[in-house]
């Protein structure tokens, strides 16, 4: 199915067609898995949050509330990327809470678990830095969200945000510099 077919199914979902939601998942599943796979580095995959779990949780969240008014395929995948970001951040926060004790007895961790625990803290810090960036410049924060959490290329972000790839490239560099500065700041450490 092509882009037009996905857009048609999204409009049918909005119109209340119960079969459209079931028809959409097989059509978008591969691309959702690709987005999720790009977001979860090999060290971040664990028994609780892997590519498949992230895709399924994002899909459920997308339809948990009243269907959004998705304009087209790219809008749907942009919203899916945001849902994945929220899931990853929520998971990282839970892991940080568990790392701080969470009422459990202390056990020694192997190297893989240590890498996951360290990455969880970094994800939460990055999420908070993106929130601060959105207060400064919402467009830059949106580009970071789509590039980093959505795994979209500069050209895909340009299409989603309806701007030139050159502008996206420039804003992406600026956003990364601002985030680096924010994360390196002693107040954030």
Segment 76-125, tens digit of pLDDT: 888 888 888 888 888 878 877 665 555 444 444 344 344 445 566 677 78
Per the document, the length of the chain is: 189
Alpha-carbon distance 67 to 62, whole Å?
7
* Phi/psi at 180 (5° precision): -60, -45
Domain of residue 63: give its range: 3-184
Q: For residue 86, with 0-12 CB atoms within 10 Å meaning exposed, 13-18 middle and 19 or more buried, which class applies? A: middle
133 domain-assigned: yes
Residue 105: phi and psi, rounded to 5, are: -70, 145
What does the pLDDT look like over 28-37, one tens digit per residue?
Answer: 888 888 888 7
- Tell me whether residue 189 is in a domain: no
* Total number of domains in the chain: 1
31 within a domain of the structure (yes/no): yes
Q: For residue 106, is it within any domain?
A: yes
Contacts of 180 (CB under 8 A, 6+ apart): none
Alpha-carbon Rg of the chain, whole angstroms? 18
Q: What is the pTM of this model?
A: 0.61
| Closest to 120 measured CA to CA, from 97, 149, 95 | 95
């Amino acid at each position: 199915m092509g882009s037009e077919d996905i857009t048609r199914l999204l409009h049918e979902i909005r119109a209340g067609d119960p079969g459209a939601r079931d028809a959409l998942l097989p059509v978008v599943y591969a691309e959702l898995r690709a987005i999720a796979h790009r977001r979860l580095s090999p060290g971040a995959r664990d028994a609780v949050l892997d590519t498949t779990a992230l895709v399924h949780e994002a899909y459920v969240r997308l339809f948990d509330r009243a269907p959004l008014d998705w304009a087209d395929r790219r809008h749907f995948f942009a919203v899916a990327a945001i849902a994945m970001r929220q899931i990853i951040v929520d998971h990282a926060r839970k892991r940080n809470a568990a790392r701080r004790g969470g009422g459990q007895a202390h056990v020694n961790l192997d190297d893989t678990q240590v890498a996951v625990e360290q990455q969880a803290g970094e994800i939460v810090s990055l999420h908070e830095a993106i929130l601060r960036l959105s207060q400064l410049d919402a467009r830059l924060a949106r580009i970071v969200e789509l590039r980093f959490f959505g795994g979209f290329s500069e050209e895909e972000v340009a299409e989603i945000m309806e701007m030139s790839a050159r502008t996206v490239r420039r804003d992406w560099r600026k956003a990364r510099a601002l985030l680096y500065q924010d994360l390196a700041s002693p107040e954030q450490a």
